[in-house]
Structure 1
Amino acid sequence: MAEESDASEGCLACDLMLGKAPLPGGSVLRTGLWAVEHCVGPFGAGTLVVKPVRHVLHVAELTAEESGELGPLLRRVSAAVTEVSAPEQVYVCLWSHAGGVPGHIHFVVQPVGKADRTRFGAVGPALQAAMGGAGCFASAAEVDEVCGRLREVLHR
């Protein structure tokens, strides 16, 4: 991690990058400024998280270099998720609360298909809330397999 401060103590996003917490699927991609990992939440196999390596709580705190890399990286990661998962849509959304307070920002890149919409009877934020409420976590084997395919696509 570029910078670690007292503010990052107990931060799950930082702990995952530093190997202090188990990271399903391992690191998928790392630039000097951004980390791409499989989501540890209940949003299905192939859902990735794009987060700054530096502990950042607000988009407005991103450096010019970090923000300059963000758009192209989100497009690249979304394209990889599309190629590997063949979803109807790929959601890209900012998550930044942990325990009710601002936390390490991260962009969730989630493949969504008809099966998800049918199973949960929802789309958009309502779909993510339903998935979260159901607590449907992908198996370690599913995460490892999809991360391997995503790594291949992202490292071409």
Structure 2
Amino acid sequence: MAEGTGMNGGCLACDLMLREAPLPGGTVLRTESWVVEHCVGPLGLGTLVVKPARHVVHVAELTARESAELGPLLHRVSVAVTEVMAPEQVYVCLWSHAGGVPGHIHFVVQPAGKVDMARFDAFGPALQVAMGAAECFPEAAEVERVCDRLRDVLG
């Protein structure tokens, strides 16, 4: 994730939650400890980010409550992405570095389909690297529509 712009020590994840940076689609879901948003990076339409509501840099720093919510939430979000996007697979991975420095942890929940795999001639981590290098961002209107559908499914 890139650096933020607000008063959060350059944390884009915090800036997005506080609306100090543009967030197409808005918050998709918020639990007591976690926030789900559409990814603002170039990982494709329907890619969600699941991040702690508080600034956390290491998984080892999660509270017992945050940890207890995490597995069921990742499952719930993955089910929603599967239903709405109908991918071949849903990747779930932890990202936390910004400019080579650990940052606000976030789990990326990414629909991976044959179209993207063929377009980038890659899959798995190589697909994410290729998509990042191509810097193809979904249109904000598309993100809004997908987020509305995801919110309906996540109810």
* Superposition TM-score, scaled by structure 2 size: 0.94
* Unaligned ranges ≥5, structure 1: 1-6
CA distance in 1, matches of 2:67, 2:16: 22
2:15 matched to which residue of 1?
15
SS in 1 for 2:95: strand
1:4 matched to which residue of 2?
none
SS in 1 for 2:43: coil
2:59 matched to which residue of 1?
59
Q: How far 1:139 sits from its partner (Å)?
A: 0.2
SS in 1 for 2:22: coil
CA distance in 1, matches of 2:123, 2:10: 32
CA distance in 2, matches of 1:68, 1:32: 11
Q: How far 1:59 sits from its partner (Å)?
A: 0.3
Q: How far 1:32 sits from its partner (Å)?
A: 1.4
Conserved in 2, the CA contact under 8 Å of 1:25 and 1:144?
Answer: yes
1:89 matched to which residue of 2?
89
User: Deviations 1:105-137 (Å, cap 9, x if unpaired)?
Assistant: 000000010001100001111000000000010
Q: How far 1:20 sits from its partner (Å)?
A: 0.6
- Report the number of matched residues: 149
1:40 matched to which residue of 2?
40
Q: CA RMSD in A?
A: 1.0
Q: Within 5 Å, which residues of 2 pair with 1:141-156?
A: 141-155=141-155
Conserved in 2, the CA contact under 8 Å of 1:8 and 1:55?
Answer: no
CA distance in 1, matches of 2:15, 2:99: 16
CA distance in 1, matches of 2:15, 2:32: 17
1:108 matched to which residue of 2?
108
CA distance in 1, matches of 2:9, 2:30: 21
User: Deviations 1:124-156 (Å, cap 9, x if unpaired)?
Assistant: 11000000000010001110000000000001x
Amino acid at match of 2:129: A
**Percent of aligned positions that are identical:** 77
2:129 matched to which residue of 1?
129
SS in 2 for 1:130: helix
1:73 matched to which residue of 2?
73
CA distance in 1, matches of 2:142, 2:20: 22
SS in 2 for 1:107: strand
CA distance in 2, matches of 1:34, 1:116: 28
